Amino acid sequence: MTAYPDPDPDLSEVREPLKRALALTDDDIARMAPEAKHLLGIRRRLGNTWLDDFEVVVEIVANDSCACGVAAGQVVVFDMRHRIKPEKSTAPLCMHMLAPVLAVFYMTFDRAAEGLNPISGIWRFFDCTDTRDDLGKTKARTRVYLRTSDTHQTVMMREIGPRKELRE
């Protein structure tokens, strides 16, 4: 496994823009928790294009009787800023189906900040939240994965490094 350099604990690369944008002083920055500095300084590790380099895909893998009309093989594609990309999505938008994916978005930045694939192997499959009269036996099921935005290649690696370089 590749060891990455510390992500700028003194915020030297982003100190001045942060001070201007958030009206911070050097003293404010000195008092910041190490975790906050880590997240603010992560740009050095990930590169400055990672938000544009990857997409989160929600693929319908099964649907026995969904009222929204989603079908197996259809997808909803999100950018890493968690916005739907309608030009790349083929499934009708259903909040019952997409609501569980919110958990994925809660962890993506945290995992990326650690240099990990933002999509954990634990959080790959979700069920629609609409249980209907059959207690959910026929609800839609989805698979969530990360892919590159340019080639649409599925990212199976455990870590992402600078400039879209993927590492195992």
**14 near 43, Cβ under 8 Å?**
yes
**59 near 47, Cβ under 8 Å?**
no
Q: Tell whether the model's pLDDT for residue 78 goes beyond 50.
A: yes
Q: How many domains would you assign to the chain?
A: 2
Of residues 85 and 138, which shows the higher confidence score?
85
Token code pair at residue 49: 């294009």
Q: Are residues 141 and 75 in the same domain?
A: yes
Q: Are residues 34 and 103 in the same domain?
A: no
Q: Are residues 113 and 163 in the same domain?
A: yes
Q: Tell whether the model's pLDDT for residue 159 goes beyond 70.
A: no
Q: Are residues 162 and 108 in the same domain?
A: yes
Q: Are residues 54 and 96 in the same domain?
A: yes
pLDDT of residue 107: 74
Distance CA 15, CA 30 (A): 11
Domain limits at 30?
Answer: 1-41
Q: Could you tell me the pTM of the whole model?
A: 0.66
Q: Tell whether the model's pLDDT for residue 158 goes beyond 70.
A: no
Q: Are residues 128 and 109 in the same domain?
A: yes
Q: CA 85, 91, 93, 94 torsion: positive or negative?
A: negative
